[in-house]
Amino acid sequence: MSKQMESSIRPPMGGPGGPPKERAKLKNSKATINRIWAYLAGNKPLLIFTLFLILINSVFTIMASYMIRPIINGLTENAGFDVLMSNLMIMAFVYIIAVISSYLQSRLMLEISQKALEKIRYDLFEKMQQLPLKFFDTNNNGDLMSRFTNDIDAMNQMLATTCVQLISGVTTLFATILIMFYTNWILTIVTLVVTPLFNSIIKKISHKSMNYYKEQQQAIGDLNGYIEERISGQKVIKVFNHEAQTIEEFKKLNDEYREKSFKAQFISGMMGPVTGSLTQLSYTIVAGVGGLLCIFRGFDIGGYTIFLNYSRSFSRPINDIFMQINTLFSALAGAERVFEVIDTEPEVADTPDCITIPEIKGEVTLQNVHFGYEKDSPILKDISLVAKPSQKIAFVGSTGAGKTTVTNLLNRFYDIQSGEILIDNVPINKIRKQHLRENIAMVLQDTNLSGVFFVCLFLFFLMNLEFLSLHHRTTSDLESFLYHVLMYGGKWFACSTPLYEARILLAALDYNRHNHWPVHINQKGKVL
């Protein structure tokens, strides 16, 4: 029987000790948007009606602004009070329709987005129940929690508000352009001259911002993961005096997140000032050209007034669109991280020829087993051994030698690269996973047992009064008593905290006191 184990470090848990990370970028924003749209399409009739309301709101808002033209022209031409009131009534009616549609679109979009997010959260959680152990070994808990919280929250903000504002902004922009052409085509062309400049500058900024937001989401996931792991392991950190090293590692991750967050916010924040500057430049040029048209081409004052408003409102939806880029890119980066988990291949299902062994005797055989968590980093090489039923075998070795790996392979948490593992001469890949794991008892290093378990355990021992009576006639050492109780029947039991030990002892003391058995606590010399 040959045994060969090569010491190797398991793959990193995704924390700061892992390999250098590549620059995070959105892999396919179009595919991500299509995935989000598919979730929204679950309420297709309601979604279509909401889009219709957005269109109504945008068009009626533009129409209400246009009503200023006949009002101003009527005042300059002394059209009379009746004409003024009729125009004001029409404007009020149009504004009321716009307000009602705005309220309904926000209310309905909120309902649609929450239903979509409910389905996304369910799919994410359901998929995590199907993923193999390798996935959780290579992704830390904090990063996974970040996908449920930060990334889902970013998607929530995008679906509930950003989508409405983006669609409304685009609709308003096109409606404004049409009404501007209707009012005066010369001024419209002048206004649109700066549009290519808008597009070229904003495209460059948005491209950089998209990549930086992806890096920001990755950085906050790493930071949350590190915090979660260190807080849960705070006792270990203090025992080994790693406080200074932990603070230094946290500072490094915190600085990395600050740097990437600053870049993302700074680059995307440039869009507002740049767009605003171009807007003011466009407004000044339009005002000058419009004044000349009023003097030399007979352009009416009402048309000139509303066109100045439209030239400013023309840039407003553009500003609104690009001011939402922050939320959009953050949400797309978060959505991509969520869909990465949903698209992860689940644990390999049992093949149709998998069997259930009626009675497992417990003979375990490893034949020329080769395995590594990474293909280029083997941990087990040509391992062969046989464990007979009821035989006790101990694997002893340094950290990373492969002790836990053998246990993981027996449970089929991972599949070996080559060789064979058999139980009662049946390959484990031919045994149903549920049946296999139900017949393997694995006790982790950190054992946590509930209080109910110890109550049942103690009641079991109370039924063995002969054992308890015999024991207390031979010893008054409660530590020895606990040792014998927990060792009784050849079974080891582990208390998760000293509190559980104390509860068992107090219950035993109370029972023995009622039976007039002398019991002493020798730690401080007190007698109960």
Is 9 inside any structural domain?
A: no
Bigger pLDDT: 285 or 505?
Answer: 285
pLDDT at 122: 92
- What is the per-residue pLDDT for 49? 92
Q: Is the pLDDT of residue 100 over 90?
A: yes
Provide the residue range defining the domain that includes 322: 30-342
pLDDT over 60 at 513, yes or no? no
Structure tokens at 477: 């050492």
Q: How many other C-beta atoms can be found within 10 angstroms of the C-beta atom of residue 323?
A: 17
Same domain, 105 and 178: yes
3-state secondary structure 276-300: HHHHHHHHHHHHHHHHHHHHHCCCC
pTM: 0.55
Q: Which residues contact 442 (CB under 8 A, 6 or more apart)?
A: 407, 411
In a domain, 476, yes or no: yes
Nearest to 504 by CA among 467, 465, 457: 457
Beta-bridge mates of residue 364:
387, 423
Same domain for 393 and 257: no
CB 65, CB 309: distance < 8 Å: yes
Q: Are 318 and 275 in contact (CB under 8 A)?
A: yes
Q: Are residues 389 and 499 in the same domain?
A: no
Write the single-letter amino acid at 255.
Answer: D
Helix axes 271-296, 301-323, angle to 10 degrees: 170
48: CATH: 1.20.1560.10
6: in domain: no
Predicted confidence (pLDDT) per residue in 188-198, tens digit? 888 887 766 66
Q: Do 261 and 316 lie in a common domain?
A: yes
Same-domain check for residues 192 and 64: yes
CA pair distance 110, 119, nearest whole angstrom: 14
The reply to whether 389 and 330 lie within a common domain is: no
Banded model confidence at residue 490, pLDDT cuts 50, 70, 90: very low
Contact 39, 431 (CB under 8 A): no
Confidence of residue 231 (pLDDT cuts 50, 70, 90): confident
Token pair 């378990």 is found at 453
DSSP β-bridge partners for residue 431? 355
358: Cα within 13 Å, side-chain hemisphere: 0
Confidence of residue 251 (pLDDT cuts 50, 70, 90): very high
Sole residue written with tokens 């705070």 = 234
Query: Is the same domain home to 160 and 270?
Result: yes
- Tokens for 434? 């549920």
- DSSP state for residue 413 in the 8-state scheme: S
State pLDDT tens for residues 39-97: 888 788 888 899 899 999 988 988 888 888 888 888 877 777 788 888 889 889 999 99
80-94, 104-118, 161-175, 304-318: least confidently modelled range: 304-318
Asked whether 213 and 268 are in contact (CB, 8 A), the reply is yes
In-domain check, residue 357 = no
The pLDDT value recorded for residue 448 is 56
Residues whose CB falls within 8 Å of the CB of residue 506, separated by 6 or more in sequence, listed in order: none
User: Which residue, 54, 66, 70, 73, is CA-closest to 112?
Assistant: 54
pLDDT value at position 478? 46
Tell me the mean pLDDT in the region 217-235.
Answer: 84
Q: What is the pLDDT of residue 8?
A: 34
- On whether the CB atoms of residues 96 and 63 are closer than 8 A, the answer is no
> How many Å apart are CA 165 and CA 173, to the nearest integer?
12
Backbone angles phi and psi of 396, in degrees to 5: -120, 130
| Together in a domain, 52 and 136 | yes
Tokens 């926000």 found at: 106
CA distance 432 to 521: 51
- The total number of residues shown for the chain amounts to 528
- Number of domains observed in the structure of the chain: 3
Rounded CA separation 426/241 (Å): 48
Sign of CA dihedral 87, 89, 92, 96: negative
Whole-angstrom Cα distance, residue 280 to residue 448? 67
pLDDT at residue 56 in the model: 92
Between the alpha carbon of residue 146 and those of residues 138, 140, 151, 262, the distances in Å are 15, 10, 6, 19
- Between the alpha carbon of residue 378 and those of residues 47, 312, 348, the distances in Å are 53, 65, 22
Q: Cα 510 to the chain's mean position, in Å?
A: 51
What are the tens digits of pLDDT across the range 253-294?
Answer: 999 899 888 888 887 777 777 767 777 777 788 888 888 888
Give which of 253, 269, 134 is closest to 208, Cα–Cα: 269
DSSP secondary structure letters along 205-249: HHHHHHHHHHHHHHHHHHHHHHHHHHHHTHHHHHHTT-HHHHHHH
| CATH code assigned at 433 | 3.40.50.300
User: pLDDT tens, 462-486?
Assistant: 555 444 454 444 444 444 554 555 4
Q: Are 92 and 240 within one domain? A: yes
Q: Is residue 193 included in any domain, yes or no?
A: yes
- Domain end marker among 388, 413, 438: 438
End-to-end CA distance of the chain: 57
Q: Is residue 430 part of a domain?
A: yes
Domain boundary, last residue among 342, 375, 400: 342
Q: Are 119 and 239 members of one domain? A: yes
State the DSSP string of 436-482.
HHHT-----SS----HHHHHHHHHHHHT-HHHHHHHHTT---HHHHH
pLDDT in the model for residue 96:
93
| 428-444 pLDDT tens trace | 888 887 777 777 777 66
Residue 128 and residue 57 in one domain: yes
pLDDT band with cut points at 50, 70 and 90 for residue 497: very low
**427 plus 456 within the same structural domain:** no
Nearest to 167 by CA among 230, 257, 105: 105
Whether the CB-CB separation of 68 and 27 falls below 8 Å is answered with: no
Q: Residues 32, 134, 224, CA angle at the centre, nearest 5°?
A: 65
CA dist 138 and 342 (Å) reads 16
